[in-house]
């Protein structure tokens, strides 16, 4: 097991994490699992990513690959994971439900149970009660990790990633839920280097609470990274709205365009980041020449006045398509002869015909047919 700092991402074996920065609570950071660690019948394969609310792993259960999400210690993180699993059930994003676009598919925490009866599990790890949930495997890596490797993505990949994120957020909004903690760690991206469409999954649903309930579970924004938090909910009373999530999507788009976080939080404590956001000290948009329309969409989405942003996530997506010129990718169906169902059906027909022909021949005729003269 390792300790991972939620602020500076430092990592150390066991409980030996230490940081010289006064703002960094490294010693109080949660413990994460490593290869071979077990949580009941689940065996961890590797750590995928860590958010401020939970850690996400590739794992195996009874030999089958799954994704394991484990909430950090504490009641607030446990309640957040419960809300997330409840939201996935409500959205139909679970085994036996409809297949949602861009959302993880929830599996039962207890294999023999139904998902609705067992959406999350509990286990004691080092005298701490930990809450967890299981989903189907998700391809890709956290967007933050992808941007560390490739800070400047192809503009169509940028547009398609944000379109997928906006569509996933719109599903939450349609059910009356707000995310309120959108950040690059919130989504996994499987990038197609051949120029194809990236596969994007909103792996973390944030607070997954209604506007009426968000203030009661906000906990001073403990699970929302201040560098991506809307100014109207940064300090003072929480004023949740769709505009706050539009701001989060806009910050992702802004960062994808300029190749670095709009508010640089690296090596800085939360107080310094909050002060920078409160002052509006955002990095300038450097893509107005080559992709001006898309840059203007990002600049509108991150305006300080919520009324000046796009009305909702679908509006932002439509702007990317109509004004930004990044149309939704067209899925091209393979020719009929390449369709697996057609191929299998043709093979069955051919084998059936051959069997009928052979059944009508005598044994001597079959032998004579097979003999090579």
Q: What pLDDT, on the 0 to 100 scale, is given for residue 153?
A: 93
Q: How far apart are CA 320 and CA 314, in angstroms?
A: 10
What does the pLDDT look like over 175-229, one tens digit per residue?
999 999 999 999 999 987 776 889 999 999 999 999 999 988 998 888 999 999 9
pLDDT number for residue 165: 97
pLDDT over 80 at 304, yes or no = yes
Q: What is the tens place of the pLDDT at every residue in 225-243?
A: 999 999 988 877 778 899 9
Residue 239 exposed, middle or buried by CB count within 10 Å (0-12, 13-18, 19+): middle
Given a cut of 70, is residue 53 above it in pLDDT?
yes
More confident residue, 9 or 95: 95
Residue 31 pLDDT exceeds 80? no
Structural tokens at position 315: 């509006």
Confidence of residue 370 (pLDDT cuts 50, 70, 90): very low
* Predicted pLDDT of residue 194: 72
- The reported pLDDT for the residue numbered 340 is 43
61 has which bridge partners? 42, 64
Q: Residue 332 pLDDT more than 50?
A: no
* Sequential DSSP letters for 32-61: E--TT-EETTEEEEEEEEE-SSEEEEEEEE
pLDDT attached to residue 284: 95
Cα separations in angstroms, 13 against 17, 26, 31, 53, 59: 7, 12, 9, 20, 20
- Residue 199 sits at φ, ψ, to 5 deg, of -95, 120
What is the rounded CA–CA span in Å between residue 160 and residue 320?
Answer: 9
Q: 64-75: buried (b, 16+ CB within 10 Å) or exposed (e) per residue?
A: eebbbbbbbbbe
The 10 Å CB-count burial string (b at 16+, else e) for 328-356 is: eeeeeeeeeeeeeeeeeeeeeeeeeeeee
Helix ranges, 177-328 (H): 211-217, 242-258, 270-279, 292-301, 313-322
**Range list of H helices, 43-113:** 75-91
Per-residue tokens: 53: 């609310």
CA 118 to chain centre: 22
pLDDT at 11: 56
């Amino acid at each position: 097991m390792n300790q991972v700092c939620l602020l500076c991402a430092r990592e150390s074996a066991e409980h030996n994490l230490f940081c010289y920065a006064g703002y960094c609570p490294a010693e109080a950071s949660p413990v994460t699992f490593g290869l071979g660690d077990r949580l009941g019948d689940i065996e961890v394969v590797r750590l995928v990513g860590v958010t401020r609310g939970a850690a996400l792993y590739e794992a195996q259960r009874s030999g089958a690959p799954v994704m394991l999400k484990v909430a950090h210690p504490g009641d607030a993180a446990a309640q957040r994971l419960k809300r997330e699993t409840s939201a996935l059930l409500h959205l139909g994003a679970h085994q036996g439900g409809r297949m949602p676009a861009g959302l993880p598919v929830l599996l039962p925490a207890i294999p023999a149970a139904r998902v609705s009866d067992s959406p999350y599990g509990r286990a004691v790890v080092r005298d701490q009660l930990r809450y967890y949930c299981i989903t189907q495997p998700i391809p890709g890596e956290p967007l933050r990790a992808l941007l560390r490797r490739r800070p400047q993505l192809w503009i169509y990949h940028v547009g398609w990633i944000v379109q997928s994120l906006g569509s996933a957020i719109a599903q939450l909004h349609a059910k009356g839920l707000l995310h309120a903690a959108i950040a690059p760690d919130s989504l996994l991206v499987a990038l197609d280097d051949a120029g194809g469409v990236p596969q994007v999954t909103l792996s973390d649903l944030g607070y997954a609470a209604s506007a009426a309930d968000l203030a009661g579970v906000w906990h001073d924004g403990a699970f929302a990274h201040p560098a991506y938090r809307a100014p109207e909910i940064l300090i003072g009373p929480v004023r949740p709205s769709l505009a706050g999530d539009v701001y989060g999507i806009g910050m992702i788009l802004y960062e994808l365009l300029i190749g670095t976080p709009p508010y640089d939080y690296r090596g800085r404590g939360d107080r310094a980041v909050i002060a920078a956001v409160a002052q509006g000290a955002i990095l300038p948009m450097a893509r107005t020449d080559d992709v001006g329309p898309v840059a203007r969409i990002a600049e509108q989405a991150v305006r300080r006045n919520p009324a000046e942003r796009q009305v909702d996530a679908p509006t932002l997506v439509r702007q990317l398509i109509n004004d930004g010129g990044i149309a939704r990718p067209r899925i091209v169906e393979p020719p009929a002869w390449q369709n697996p169902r057609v191929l299998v059906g043709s093979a069955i027909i051919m084998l059936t015909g051959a069997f009928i022909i052979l059944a009508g021949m005598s044994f001597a005729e079959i032998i004579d047919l097979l003999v090579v003269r």
